[in-house]
Amino acid sequence: MKQYQVKEVRRAALKDRQDKLEWKVDSLYDKLHQFYGTQELVLKANKLDAIELMNSDALEDKILALRRILLEDPTINCLLHPDKLSIEVAALEEIFSELCTRRQIEEDLHNSIQQKMDEKHNEYIQEIKLQILKEQKNSPENAQTLKNLGRLEKMENINLSKTVLDILRPAAFDEIIGQDKAIKALVSKLNTPYPQHILLYGPPGVGKTSCARLALELVKDRKQNCFSKEAPFIEVDGTTLRWDPRESTNPLLGSVHDPIYQGARKDLADEGIPEPKPGLVSDAHGGILFIDEIGEMDAALQNKLLKVLEDKRVFFESAYYDPHNERIPRYIKQMFEQGVPSDFVLIGATTRSNEEINPALRSRCMEIFFDPLTAEQIRNIVKLSAQKLNIGIQEGVSELISDYADDGRSANKLLVDAYSIALNKNDTDEGILVVGQHEVQEAIQNSRINLNIDNKASDETEVGRIFGLGAHGYRGRLLEIEAITFPAEPKGEGRVRFNDTAGSMARDSVFNAASVIRSEFGENIYDFDLHINFIGGGKVDGPSAGVAIYLAILSAMKGKPIRQDIAVTGEISIQGRVKPVGGLHEKIHAARQAGIKKILIPYDNREDISADWCGMEIIPVAYIRETYPHVFI
């Protein structure tokens, strides 16, 4: 009875082990199905000759199939001893576990790679697109791009207007009126193997910019100059030049685009490399840099420009530049270490006086002065512009315009305004359009333009009234000064009154005149109530009206009439000397415009101008008494 029980127990234990082993094998097959997928598992088993073994009812065959599949070896034909099948299954479970672990690691690595690729996906796609577009030989155009191109071309063909000043701008030197001396001086300073920097002074609208541009084109065709046929003419307005003292932007000299703050070119910014950007001084290398209104430039920027004129190159600096970085392109290294060539001729134009220009800049430049235009020259400009516009002008139109305009640009603007008025009045397109005085007068009224000349000379004489001469901004002005006297009550307690707006210089000239009159004639001005008036008001900037004030006071006190076709300029000293003044050319231009026949100037200014300039008589005087025969009747 006991032996039977032992056998039953053994048989039950064996069956239990067999069942557990089968469960493990079945579980392993289930996991393989999940791991590979049913279809892939079948294909793999077929490849390894394990299909029949998998479908067998024998546990040993199933285990053999598992071994072939997991070890990927179709030549395996035997197993361990039947009593050791559990050990075989445990080994297969270990192999499967390693396989699962390997796949998990590969999936994690794949996910990490995919994540990085997703982060760079858009950037990679964009770079690939650009590369493909560059390498693509066929046209990148499609229906939409061609439609947009057609619209742009259509817009290019639509022009509402032309800039009339471009049409009327001088295209040759013979079209620049009244500046023969300045043109000759400018060409001579450029047409040499050693051209100098130049400053052009003069009022606006007289042709300074046009002269500079035409001068370069002229000297290019001559042998003795250093300009090539391709020499550039770079033009910029000094009033619009803006720069950052931190050097983050400087259109004139150039700047450095740092990779963090401004962002250099993308491929350079990614490497942390700063990128220098040359400015206009480098664009002008080998040619001319023309700066209009150079006197309006920032003083610090002018000093930086002076350094470029000395070095003939621009140097760049950046805290991000590392000379040992092998990734920096050679051209950037050269720009930082050697600078960028900037060898050019500077031509600066200004309406300021030369005393207002930076002395260091003046010392490096030759100076050329452009003259104000006379009424006759303005009339010639009007006639020339009418020819360019292909219109006719009635008699008297050019004379009328010259009364209201004192430079070529103003005259052209007035003519064009009158032209547009006449064009809108003309109902037919037949014949040449003619501009008359009526249209010019309408244009003058529309723009509210005042007469260019306030005062006119005459053949009459007047007591206590005289013309002085002033100048400001390269424009002369006729000053009308008048004086009147009354006996003081009581005597010796007279009062002196004059325009407060005339300034301290006029006040000093009155007191100087009082001292000279007392010295010359023994007369005390305080025996009179004296009133001096500067007609039209305005501040007298300098002492040059001193002689005119003296003569007006003397005429009023003595009752002596003064010629009204004469003008005087000069400072008067308390010893009766006539001292030199500035702005003589501009003053004489203004006198000529007003019809003055004779001008008295200081003796020390006699070399500044010829004795018979522009058809007027010019008399130099050293002492105030020398003026009496010319002024009084």
**Could you list the active site residues?**
544, 587
Q: What is the DSSP string of 89-106?
A: HHHHHHHHHHHHHHHHHH
- Residue 431: both structure tokens together: 């014949």
Alpha-carbon dihedral 620, 600, 367, 214, rounded to 10 degrees: -120
Q: What are phi and psi of 69, to 5 degrees?
A: -70, -50
448 φψ region: left (φ > 0), alpha (ψ -120 to 50), beta (else): left
Q: How far apart are CA 217 and CA 299, in angstroms?
A: 31
Q: Is 308 helix (H, G, I), strand (E, B) or coil?
A: helix
Q: How many CB atoms lie within 10 A of CB 603?
A: 17
Contact 67, 76 (CB under 8 A): yes
- Judged by DSSP in three states, 445 sits in helix
> Which pair of tokens denotes residue 235?
């033009």
Is the Cβ–Cβ distance between 375 and 317 less than 8 Å? Answer: no
User: Which run of H or of E encompasses 200?
Assistant: strand 197-201
Expressed in angstroms, the distance from the first to the final Cα of the chain is 176
Long-range contacts at 581-586 (CB < 8 A, ≥ 24 apart): 581/542, 581/543, 581/544, 581/605, 582/471, 582/542, 582/544, 583/470, 583/471, 583/472, 583/476, 583/544, 584/608, 584/609, 585/369, 585/371, 585/372, 585/476, 585/609, 586/372, 586/471, 586/474, 586/475, 586/476
**Rg of the chain, C-alpha, whole Å:** 49
Distance of alpha carbon 134 from alpha carbon 17, whole angstroms: 72
Q: 99, 121, 86: which is closest to 13 by C-alpha?
A: 86
Q: Name every residue whose Cβ is closer than 8 Å to that of residue 120 and which is 6 or more positions away in sequence.
A: none
Instruction: Centre a 10 Å sphere on the Cβ of residue 601 and count the other Cβ atoms it contains.
Output: 25
3-class state of residue 474 by DSSP: coil
Burial 252-287, CB ≥16 within 10 A → b, else e: bbbbbbbbeeeebeeebbeebbbbbbbbbbbebbeb
Query: Max Cα separation, the chain?
Result: 176
CB 378 within 8 A of CB 402: yes
